[in-house]
Structure 1
């Protein structure tokens, strides 16, 4: 299952955005308003949203200035969330979020709508940075 968020243009440098996404505590700023839990532990964070199980995301991979990838800490729900950052000019960049998960068809059917909403909300909140 792949879900791609909207591409967001920001008046920020590629390096600035890379550093923002590399620090997991900054993800609290782009989470949905109805978040009921957010806890940082080293290179990971745990978050909870109403109606969904709590999820721990771990910083998995960084490609300087162009990509930061987080992955699920649990193998029960294997997925990644990547922030791809593209420089437009020195102080303008684009960010797109990509969610990739490996779920059985029944699970995929149940979580597609909430995940689409989640990725869309994250993308919209990135636009407010």
Structure 2
């Protein structure tokens, strides 16, 4: 399953956006209002839970300075990734799109598609205010 957020324009340089997303503590500022738990577990790992959903641990898996950050599931039964694609528009603005990828059976995919789509859209929507 592959889902993408709408592209979001941020009035900051790609370098600034990349540095913001590289610091995993900042993901708390992007979370939706229905977050029930957020906990930093290390320099490259955090745990979060949304009301009515299980806890999820994300770990920084790959970084390409100023253009891409990949977070992946750390443990648990589901294997997926959340990738932030950063594209510089000019020196003072950039565009970010989040992509979610994972292998799920059709029943699971059907159940999580809506909530995951809404989740990544919320992260992207909150970015211009948070960065």
Equivalents in 1 of 2:119, 2:113: separation in Å? 10
The TM-score with structure 2 as length reference comes to: 0.95
Deviations 1:7-37 (A, max 9, x none): 0001100000111111111000000011110
Any gaps of 5 or more consecutive residues in structure 1?
Answer: none
After TM superposition, give the deviation of residue 127 of structure 1 in Å: 2.8
Q: Report deviation, 1:126.
A: 1.1
1:39 matched residue in structure 2: 39
Q: Does 1:93 align with 2:65?
A: no
Structure 2 residue runs of 5 or longer lacking an equivalent are: none
SS in 2 for 1:36: strand
1:72-127 CA distance string (max 9 Å, x none): 00251110001100000011100000000111111101111111111111111113
Aligned to 1:5: 5
Give TM-score scaled by structure 1 length: 0.97
The runs of 4+ residues in structure 1 deviating greater than 3 Å are none
**Does the aligned pair in 1 maintain the 2:11–2:128 contact within 8 Å?**
no
